[in-house]
A and B are shown apart, each in its own frame.
Chain A
Amino acid sequence: MLQGDGLSRLWLLMHATLVVVSCFTDTDSGPGAGGSSTQPNGDRFKIEGRAIVPGIKTQDWVSTARVLVEGEEYVGFLRTDGSFAVNDVPSGSYVVEVVTPTYRFEPVRVDITSKGKMRARLVNYIKTSEVIRQPYPLQIRSTGPHSYFMKRETWGWTDFLMNPMVMMMVLPLLIIVLLPKVVNTNDPEMRKEMEQSMNMLNPNPELPDVSELMTKLFSGSKGSSKAGSSSKGSRPAAKRR
């Protein structure tokens, strides 16, 4: 009994007081955690290429640019003419990217065989074995500046007027105000014609009007006794006839 009591108290306290603090011992990097596992005596190769930003002088952007191979595993810098070389890369398959804060470049996958043969192809992360050849040495052309910002929704008169709600309000208003002035309603012929067209619009005069229907519905729900009495009242009238 006592034990059970203690246990329940324990449960109650459980939710708040268990403290899980990340451990202070060296869990951050184990000895095998490093990603770079290169063969000790494998040959090292060089990835070469050129980055071009059309219409911009290279001096204006190369100082902020870098060439990243597979994340930051290998890093290259751009020469003042836009060409680059990433040295000391072992054989394998790598995604080569030119990064600048201002211009966008498409990444390229470069395969290096163990003999040092190179080929470049489009990056396709889904079908990784698909080969669409790209020129090597790489020719990476910028696809324009990065778009970092959203457009603000600006307010203008045209936006306001083109709003469907506003259009729905304004157009009938125009019809109501302008139509009587355009069409001479005093002309009896015209009136006749209009009446005809109104009839055309409402092809089935037998069909109950929507507004009528609504009023019926609401009045019906309000008091069925009233409706009943009215129907009683009409029946004898029919008999009389």
Chain B
Amino acid sequence: MGKLILLLLNLIVLYNIVAAVFEDQVGKFDWRQQYVGKVRFSHFDTHMQSSKKVLLATESNVFAAINTRTGDLFWRHVDKTGPEGNIDAVLHHGQDAVLVVGNGRVLRSWDISVGGLNWEIVLDSGSFRSACLVGQQGTVKHAAVLKKSVISLHYLSNGHQKWVENLPESETVNYQAVHSDGNGQVYALGVVSHSHIAVVAYSAEDGEIIKQVSVEAPWLSNIPASCAVVGQGMLTCVDSTTMSIYTLDLYQQLQMIQIPLQSLGLEVDPGFQPHLVSHQPHPARQPLSEFLLQLGPDHHLLLQLNNGQIVILRDFKPALLVSFATTGEKTVAAVMSPKNKTACGINLFSAESGRRLLDTTLIFTVDPNAGKPERLHVQAFLKKDDSVGYRVMVQSEDHALTFIQQPGRVMWTREEALSDVVTMEMVDLPLTGTQAELEGEFGKKADGLMSMVLKRLSSQLIMLQTWVAHLWKLFYDARKPRSQVKNDVSIENLSRDEFNLQKMMVMVTSSGKLFGIDSKTGSILWKHYLDNIPSNAAFNLMVQRTTAHFPHPPQCTLLIKDKDSGLAALHVFNPIFGRKSQVAPPALSQPILQSLLLPLMDQDYAKVLLLVDDQYKVSAFPSTKNVLQQLQETAASIFFYLVDSSQGRLSGYRLRTDLSTEQVWEVVIPVEVQNIVSVKGKRPNEHVHSQGRVMGDRSVLYKYLNPSLLAVVTESTDLHQERSFIGILLIDGVTGRIIHEAVQRKARGPVHVVHSENWVVYEYWSTKSRRNEFSVIELYEGMELYNSTVFSSLDRPHAPQVLQQSYIFPSSISTMEATLTEKGITSRHLLIGLPSGGILSLPKMFLDPRRPEIVSEQSREENLIPYAPELIIRTEWFINYNQTVSRVRGIYTAPSGLESTCLVVAYGLDIYQTRVYPSKQFDVLKDDYDYMLISSVLFALFFATMISKRLAEVKLLNRAWR
């Protein structure tokens, strides 16, 4: 019983230690941005005239509805990553949206008004080809799904299968498209490459084959790329080799009619694959007889198919993008044509006549730092006077969505590239002009007493001036209503705040777009799109020069490496303004194996970046004389390591004075048995404040603080649940000495590791007990420190003491990181991203291998929590309360100017920024500090003394009279 009470007491103590969010702090210093990813399909909700929804299905396997007025999410459904959640097709009809997911594995219907699931059914296996809605007599009740060898029809109301039929000759015929236009028939279109088209007409009623024809078409290989159904069942194709348009009547299927493009006076741009776009306003009706033909990158045509004859309605040249849109009975074509370098004009043309509609011009400004526009999504609507109005959503190469209203007002922009952040850094903001002036005063050499005094006075005067201006602004703002006061953040007025809590977040996305985001508000301050980024590029972002070296501008370097070829390129830029730096990066002709940022600086205070190529030659950037000289001096103490996971080799190298390298050690892990999964060093900007831990008996247990310790995680190649294991190796990066080795049997990955101070925490899946487990390893030197002044890997004769303990964790995790503070005095927390979207702040205290099983006097003195096998997840410890972050991929922590405060950015599909106080805010007054109380008490005491003094005087006087 006593023990239980003790435990409870302990818990209460801990409860107080652990900082949680207070309800009134919501949104005060945290923000979240939700993204959906690169858009693959989009549908405007035309079900109601007043609807404000646009449905987006993306390549990140997300299906979402977005408010067209604000750009915010109505709802969002995040499916599994990978091919199993891949959205193949979206069919939108009325209130429902039917999605084909996972290569035709699952059919799902969503209610778009509430965002709930209507139904979900599993289809038979077979790779997905095409899908369409099937209507009859003006109503749409079915959806047809075409797979490699079967075609099936499903009810839209409940997903049940109406019929399923095998496709004839599916081994030879490659079925690629399905078409229906409301006449009770469903056409499956297949092609035998360079031979003929196969057309199979099914009855929508019972799936009976009505007709089956094959028509010669030796030039055709891909139906969706070059064909479209136009008008009354006319399959229309365009071919670049024969320079012709072919038409085939699906109802009669006699023969392909060839219409040479030359007879129309048209010509395909050399090397361009021409493309056809038709439009079917309603699935139960026939497609329009007008269609769009693209003949070149900026050449589009609006054509009409009239009784087998093709009429040119309008020639759009130059036209970058063209798209159809329908409202009511009217169909229009929106055409985007370049105006000048920075602007494009969008115009509407009537689809029937090709005439330009009046007052429909819209200007779209192209940001030179963004990608080119790629797709147009047009929302057309009828105005009160029955003319057509429209809004347009422009999708660009860099995944950005811009929603524009006439005459060119940007309603919102969504930077969907931010849904896939690869790496990021936080950079201190620069000082303001006055602050820099003050700094400069100390930096300069003294030039006489008088001038110093004058300088000081002038800078004080400037400070007074800014203070008065600040007060005036406060006073001025206070008179305005609160909603009107806007703190506009722009690059010009950015400056460091007094505690350095506001920083610039430099984010690198996989699309190659770089962003500079203000960490306080989350507003994007600059963006820069790097084109020609290979699709499988790896990025490494390094801060070479911080803002501390005024007047030298800060400098970041991004290493972009093609994962296949290993070839790399450097992009050097200013992290505050996003501009490309004048410094010319070296051209890298050899594949790069490793990059290291040295603590050495050149005369301009830029840290030296070393790049190791595949010949083990080292090049430095910047490579001035000064740098090379410094490198020569310190070469003997520069070590680095390389990992070759395909051969299981981990090798350490040393730099020679002539910038060649020399192998010092090598550890080979047999790849037949286990693979190297990750190698983690310590963060270079980490500080450890206390060298040891004070024990219950007042002795000190010293930490083993090896700055070059590597934690290597391996997983077994055998994945059988009885034989699989994970291993962890602690290797000294200088000598290659294996400090410790641990093997967790009956365990498998994914393993998440955090390596900091003198501890390594890792998480794995225990196959035996089917649960996630945490394990912590702590290294101690013992009761005495061998060499307290400096740590040397070459002179540490005693092996460290290793303590280890494991715990059960009741959830799987997505990512893990440790908090980081300026001086390392604050206790550490682990930030754990959970699949549910929460970010748990777990005190490191719970992961302490010295947690005793039996409580003793000493352990209590030391404040150790008694060992409990299961770690608990308390929702109070979620630093992001209900602001869940989907698919957390990384958590970035950065110290602020306050020792108690650590800045946290979690990124995945969403981005969430907040501050955490692992040991509460011990160095600033809490934000709920009661100024009213303290001042009222002070005043009350003051008045009480005044009154009592007066009373005492009166009393004395009275006594004197007595």
A residues touching B (Cβ–Cβ < 8 Å)? 6-7, 10-33, 35, 37, 46, 58-59, 62-64, 66, 68, 70-72, 74-75, 77-80, 84-85, 87-88, 93, 97, 99, 101-102, 104, 107, 123, 125-126, 128, 146-150, 152-153, 155
Name the residue of chain B whose CB is nearest to the CB of A128. B769
With A19-B638, A63-B114, A80-B116 in contact, do A148 and B643 touch (Cβ < 8 Å)? no
Contact B835 A71, beta carbon cutoff 8 Å: yes
Which residues on the B side are within 8 Å of A128 (C-beta)? 769-771
Alpha-carbon distance A53/B577, docked complex (angstroms): 49
Contact A30 B675, beta carbon cutoff 8 Å: yes
Of the listed residues A12, A14, A24, the one surrounded by the most CB atoms of chain B closer than 10 A to its CB is A24
In the complex, per-residue mask of B874-917: 1 if CB is within 8 Å of any chain A CB, else 0: 01101001111001000000000000000000000000000000
B933 is an interface residue with CB less than 8 A from chain A? yes
B207 is an interface residue with CB less than 8 A from chain A? no
B945 is an interface residue with CB less than 8 A from chain A? no
Which residues on the B side are within 8 Å of A70 (C-beta)? 812
Partner of A85, one of B24, B120, B636, B792: B120
Alpha-carbon distance A29/B751, docked complex (angstroms): 11
In the complex, per-residue mask of B914-937: 1 if CB is within 8 Å of any chain A CB, else 0: 000000000000001010010000
Which residues on the A side are within 8 Å of B881 (C-beta)? 148-149
B338 is an interface residue with CB less than 8 A from chain A? no
With A33-B715, A101-B837 in contact, do A24 and B116 touch (Cβ < 8 Å)? no
Q: With both chains docked as a complex, state the minimum distance between the C-beta of B648 and any C-beta of chain A, in angstroms.
A: 10
Name the residue of chain A whose CB is nearest to the CB of B105. A88
B117 is an interface residue with CB less than 8 A from chain A? yes
Q: With both chains docked as a complex, state the minimum distance between the C-beta of B613 and any C-beta of chain A, in angstroms.
A: 12
5 contacts between A and B (CB under 8 A): A63-B115, A64-B75, A101-B882, A125-B771, A149-B23
With A88-B105, A150-B20 in contact, do A72 and B116 touch (Cβ < 8 Å)? no
B870 is an interface residue with CB less than 8 A from chain A? yes
Contact B122 A87, beta carbon cutoff 8 Å: yes
Name the residue of chain B whose CB is nearest to the CB of A6. B636
Alpha-carbon distance A97/B810, docked complex (angstroms): 11
Which residues on the B side are within 8 Å of A148 (C-beta)? 20-21, 875-876, 878, 881-882
Alpha-carbon distance A46/B680, docked complex (angstroms): 40
B665 is an interface residue with CB less than 8 A from chain A? no
Alpha-carbon distance A119/B538, docked complex (angstroms): 45
B587 is an interface residue with CB less than 8 A from chain A? no
Which residues on the B side are within 8 Å of A126 (C-beta)? 808, 869-870
With A62-B116, A68-B835, A79-B117 in contact, do A14 and B790 touch (Cβ < 8 Å)? yes
In the complex, per-residue mask of B708-735: 1 if CB is within 8 Å of any chain A CB, else 0: 1010000111010000000000000110
Which residues on the A side are within 8 Å of B640 (C-beta)? 19-21
Alpha-carbon distance A93/B883, docked complex (angstroms): 30
Which residues on the A side are within 8 Å of B878 (C-beta)? 148
Partner of A78, one of B116, B122, B638: B116
Contact B122 A30, beta carbon cutoff 8 Å: no
Which residues on the B side are within 8 Å of A23 (C-beta)? 594, 641-643, 679
With A79-B116, A128-B771 in contact, do A24 and B600 touch (Cβ < 8 Å)? no
Q: A30-B676, A63-B115, A72-B81 are in contact. List 12 more A-B contacts (CB 8 A).
A: A11-B794, A18-B793, A21-B597, A23-B594, A25-B642, A74-B80, A77-B77, A88-B106, A97-B836, A125-B808, A125-B870, A150-B20
Q: With both chains docked as a complex, state the minimum distance between the C-beta of B455 and any C-beta of chain A, in angstroms.
A: 36
Alpha-carbon distance A118/B277, docked complex (angstroms): 50
Of the listed residues A26, A33, A87, A149, the one surrounded by the most CB atoms of chain B closer than 10 A to its CB is A149
Which residues on the B side are within 8 Å of A77 (C-beta)? 77, 108, 117, 120
Contact B595 A14, beta carbon cutoff 8 Å: no
Which residues on the A side are within 8 Å of B677 (C-beta)? 27, 29-30, 33
Contact B933 A155, beta carbon cutoff 8 Å: yes
Q: With both chains docked as a complex, state the minimum distance between the C-beta of B641 and any C-beta of chain A, in angstroms.
A: 7
Alpha-carbon distance A77/B118, docked complex (angstroms): 10
Contact A15 B115, beta carbon cutoff 8 Å: no
Contact A72 B80, beta carbon cutoff 8 Å: yes
Contact A17 B599, beta carbon cutoff 8 Å: yes
Which residues on the B side are within 8 Å of A75 (C-beta)? 78-80, 85
Contact B933 A11, beta carbon cutoff 8 Å: no
Name the residue of chain A whose CB is nearest to the CB of B540. A24
Alpha-carbon distance A211/B870, docked complex (angstroms): 55
Contact A149 B79, beta carbon cutoff 8 Å: no
Name the residue of chain B whose CB is nearest to the CB of A153. B928
Q: How large is the interface on B (under 10, 10 to 19, 20 to 34, 35 or more residues)?
A: 35 or more
Alpha-carbon distance A63/B74, docked complex (angstroms): 9
Partner of A146, one of B636, B708, B791, B882: B882
Partner of B719, one of A12, A37, A72, A146: A37
Which residues on the A side are within 8 Å of B810 (C-beta)? 107, 123, 125
Which residues on the B side are within 8 Å of A68 (C-beta)? 835-836
Contact A32 B715, beta carbon cutoff 8 Å: yes
Partner of B598, one of A19, A24, A27: A19
Partner of A15, one of B680, B733, B790, B928: B790
Which residues on the B side are within 8 Å of A31 (C-beta)? 675
B476 is an interface residue with CB less than 8 A from chain A? no
Alpha-carbon distance A6/B636, docked complex (angstroms): 10
Which residues on the A side are within 8 Å of B719 (C-beta)? 32, 37
Which residues on the B side are within 8 Å of A72 (C-beta)? 80-81, 812, 814, 835, 887
Partner of B750, one of A33, A58, A63, A93: A33
Alpha-carbon distance A227/B51, docked complex (angstroms): 100
In the complex, per-residue mask of B154-197: 1 if CB is within 8 Å of any chain A CB, else 0: 00000000000000000000000000000000000000000000
Contact A20 B641, beta carbon cutoff 8 Å: yes
B802 is an interface residue with CB less than 8 A from chain A? no
Alpha-carbon distance A6/B794, docked complex (angstroms): 13
Q: With both chains docked as a complex, state the minimum distance between the C-beta of B544 and any C-beta of chain A, in angstroms.
A: 13
Contact A149 B876, beta carbon cutoff 8 Å: yes
Alpha-carbon distance A101/B716, docked complex (angstroms): 36
Alpha-carbon distance A60/B719, docked complex (angstroms): 43
Q: Which 8 A-B pairs have the closest CB atoms?
A: A71-B812, A63-B115, A20-B681, A80-B116, A148-B881, A13-B637, A63-B75, A101-B882
Contact A24 B793, beta carbon cutoff 8 Å: no
Partner of B636, one of A10, A22, A93: A10
Partner of A22, one of B114, B599, B681: B681
B800 is an interface residue with CB less than 8 A from chain A? no
With A14-B734, A125-B808 in contact, do A20 and B710 touch (Cβ < 8 Å)? yes
Q: With both chains docked as a complex, state the minimum distance between the C-beta of B261 and any C-beta of chain A, in angstroms.
A: 48
With A11-B790, A148-B881 in contact, do A20 and B717 touch (Cβ < 8 Å)? no
Contact A79 B837, beta carbon cutoff 8 Å: no
Contact B78 A25, beta carbon cutoff 8 Å: no
Alpha-carbon distance A188/B331, docked complex (angstroms): 113
Partner of B122, one of A21, A88, A149: A88
Alpha-carbon distance A84/B930, docked complex (angstroms): 49
Q: With both chains docked as a complex, state the minimum distance between the C-beta of B756 and any C-beta of chain A, in angstroms.
A: 13
Contact B734 A18, beta carbon cutoff 8 Å: yes
Alpha-carbon distance A126/B637, docked complex (angstroms): 49
With A19-B684, A31-B675 in contact, do A14 and B792 touch (Cβ < 8 Å)? yes
Of the listed residues A64, A70, A77, the one surrounded by the most CB atoms of chain B closer than 10 A to its CB is A77
Alpha-carbon distance A152/B24, docked complex (angstroms): 9
Alpha-carbon distance A24/B594, docked complex (angstroms): 6
Contact A25 B771, beta carbon cutoff 8 Å: no
B748 is an interface residue with CB less than 8 A from chain A? yes
Partner of A24, one of B592, B734, B771: B592
Which residues on the A side are within 8 Å of B636 (C-beta)? 6, 10, 13
Alpha-carbon distance A20/B878, docked complex (angstroms): 32
Which residues on the B side are within 8 Å of A80 (C-beta)? 111, 114, 116-118
B563 is an interface residue with CB less than 8 A from chain A? yes
Name the residue of chain A whose CB is nearest to the CB of B648. A30
Within 8 A of A (CB), among B733-765: 733-734, 748-750, 765
B202 is an interface residue with CB less than 8 A from chain A? no
Q: With both chains docked as a complex, state the minimum distance between the C-beta of A96 and any C-beta of chain B, in angstroms.
A: 13
Alpha-carbon distance A162/B644, docked complex (angstroms): 68
Contact B117 A87, beta carbon cutoff 8 Å: no
Contact B643 A104, beta carbon cutoff 8 Å: no
